A and B are shown apart, each in its own frame.
Chain A
Amino acid sequence: MTAALSSSAVPASVRLRWPLPRRLGLSLLSLTALLALWWLVARLGLISPLFLPPPEQVLHQFITIAGPQGFMDATLWQHLAASLQRILIALTAAALCGVTVGIAMGLSPTVRGMLDPLIELYRPVPPLAYLPLMVIWFGIGETSKVLLIYLAIFAPVAMATLAGVQSAQQVRLRAARALGATRWQVLWHVILPGALPEILTGLRIGLGVGWSTLVAAELIAATRGVGFMVQAAGEFLATDVVLAGILVIALIAFTLELGLRALQRRLTPWHGEGL
């Protein structure tokens, strides 16, 4: 009995120690394999460089567009700055409004009754579907694009905040009231911090949706931005620039996601501790 227990316990601990480095190793392996396959296919001339330029050419082109020469009257950094500025403005506005509206909906059934149908009505519509309307109303300038991303981020943030406020534990609310907390003190000290994990999850989802929407919007209506850069390069059949642009877009999305995850771990360490 003891022997059986101890012999089954050893492999379990080994198995428990392995997954993370193993998973990371596998991820790196598959990425390397993809890169090697790409290089090999281009090297052997199986696909014309017009359709699939070799990795070194994409890297070279990346360095070129990142340098002063740039692409379409702007360097990669200027395109990127244009895109990031749009999403940053939209994100700030959507976070402020979304959290406020979510809290109001969570606290007041009246507000929830009034706003819920409005948000539920526009939320499932892909933002690109109302881009033409935005362009008709606000022109092709920055306003329409920022507003579009704002709308894309607002709904998930407001909904997540609402869920966070509604998940406030009754025992915590009662404990605060019994310690003499006013309504505002309950909101500030109990409801808001309690909703923070959900708010941050909402921001993560919103930022993901916002970034895809932004790039797609720039494909259609922009004169600067990474989406526009990829679109313009496509028209000139500059496949290497298209690929470099796509990689940059993926890299930014990845960084945003990881950054927000780190922020979530930092700000809400109790999340997932069974509390």
Chain B
Amino acid sequence: MLQLTHLCADYDGRRVLDNINLTLDAGELMVVLGPSGCGKTTLLNLIAGFLTHHQGQISLQGRPVTGPGAERGVVFQHEGLLPWRNVLDNVAFGLQLAGLARPEREARARAMLRKVGLEEAHAKPIWQLSGGQRQRVGIARALATQPQLLLLDEPFGALDAFTREQMQTLLLRLWHEQRRQVLLITHDIEEAVFMATELVLLSPAPGRITERLTLDFGRRFAAGESCRSIKSDPAFIERREYVLGRVFAEREVFA
């Protein structure tokens, strides 16, 4: 369980996050949605341990977060893959850092690649992959070390609409299958409503939680319903329009 209590963050003397309180239970997929500049990336960097927090607490399974660690896997918008390693070695990187012998880490990396549908590409250099394939390698790399929590920072923001939907459904399947806690940051409203089991709306300047919704579209997809059927369901459209209205209301106040 991830727990944030009274978390605040400043940047350049300006408050970016103000009194954030969140709990993320095991098996939940939480999406943090907000316009750019609302501090959502800062929030993820704090949870990942890339930034240090001075006010409030962050804890995972009761242990306070003090820096980056392998129990929190991170997927970045620009994957951060290592070009001097091929696809398989990139996925096996975390296992190598943990000291696993080559045969074992390669077997596990191969299994992970199979799950993201890239088994054939295992020997390719990463510059021969498309954006969507790279992001799948990024996800496989983060999941290979079996983290308790998976953090994703606008992972599909740079992809085209078609690839994005493929990636969303892939991530939902992996989440369902691996039973991990997932925290996803996005500014894409449809993506947020479709995937979240818990949707958190963040207002800009300073970032505050304005609303928290419990949704079930992601679970419905994981249970076997088709993506198109969910996205054309009036209930989905109603929720999406509601969230859209909330985000735009925030924007007008901001402007």
Asked if A179 and B127 make an inter-chain contact with CB atoms under 8 angstroms apart, the answer reads no
Q: Is A275 an interface residue (CB 8 A)?
A: yes
Q: Could you say which of A145-153, A166-174, A242-250 contacts chain B?
A: A166-174
- The answer to whether B84 touches A270 (Cβ under 8 A) is yes
Which residues between 179 and 217 of chain A lie within 8 Å of chain B, taking CB atoms? 179-182, 185, 189-190, 193-194, 196
A180 touches B94 (CB 8 A): yes
Is A179 within 8 A of B145, CB to CB?
yes
- Would A273 and B97 count as touching, CB distance under 8 A? no
Q: Within the complex, which residue of A172, A193, A269 is in contact with B80, where a contact is CB–CB below 8 Å?
A: A172
A177 to B76, CA, bound (A): 13
- Let me know if A171 and B76 touch, CB within 8 A: yes
B50 touches A177 (CB 8 A): yes
Residue of B nearest to A186 (CB): B97
A111 contacts chain B at the CB level, 8 A cutoff? no
Contact A275 B93 (CB under 8 A): no
Answer yes or no: A19 CB below 8 A from chain B CBs.
no
Provided the pairs A174-B74, A174-B76, A275-B127 are in contact, do residues A179 and B82 lie with their beta carbons within 8 angstroms? no
Known interface pairs A174-B48, A273-B127; A180-B98 also in contact (CB < 8 Å) = yes
What is the bound-complex CA distance between A169 and B84, given in angstroms?
14
- Give B127's nearest chain A residue, CB to CB: A273
A167 to chain B, nearest CB (A): 13
A174 to B97, CA, bound (A): 14
Closest partner residue, chain B, to A171 (CB atom): B80
Distance A194 CA – B80 CA, assembled complex (angstroms): 12
Q: Is A114 an interface residue (CB 8 A)?
A: no
Check A172/B82 contact, CB under 8 A, given A179-B93, A179-B145, A189-B93.
Answer: yes
Complex-state Cα separation, A190 to B90, whole angstroms: 11
Is B141 interfacial (CB 8 A cutoff)? yes
Given contacts A179-B93, A269-B125, A275-B127, contact A190 B48 (CB under 8 A): no
Whether A178 pairs with B73 at a CB distance below 8 angstroms is yes
* A-B CB contacts (within 8 Å), total count: 75
Interface size class of B (residues with CB under 8 A): 20 to 34
B231 near A: Cβ within 8 Å?
no
CB of A262 within 8 Å of the partner chain: no
CA distance A185 to B99 in the complex (A): 11
Given contacts A177-B68, A180-B69, A189-B93, contact A169 B80 (CB under 8 A): yes
A194 to B235, CA, bound (A): 49
List CB contacts (< 8 Å) of B48-99 with chain A.
48-50, 67-70, 72-74, 76, 78-84, 93-94, 97-98
- Are A268 and B84 closer than 8 Å at their CB atoms? yes
Partner of A185, one of B72, B73, B78, B97: B97
16 A-B residue pairings within 8 Å (CB atoms): A171-B78, A171-B79, A171-B80, A174-B50, A174-B74, A175-B76, A175-B81, A177-B68, A178-B49, A178-B73, A180-B68, A180-B70, A182-B97, A193-B82, A196-B84, A275-B126
Closest 6 CB pairs of A and B: A180-B70, A270-B83, A179-B94, A171-B80, A175-B80, A177-B68
* Chain A contact residues, CB within 8 Å of chain B: 169, 171-172, 174-182, 185, 189-190, 193-194, 196, 268-270, 273-275
Beyond A174-B48, A270-B84, list 13 extra A-B contacts (CB 8 Å): A172-B80, A172-B82, A174-B76, A175-B80, A177-B49, A177-B50, A178-B50, A178-B74, A178-B142, A179-B94, A180-B97, A268-B84, A274-B127
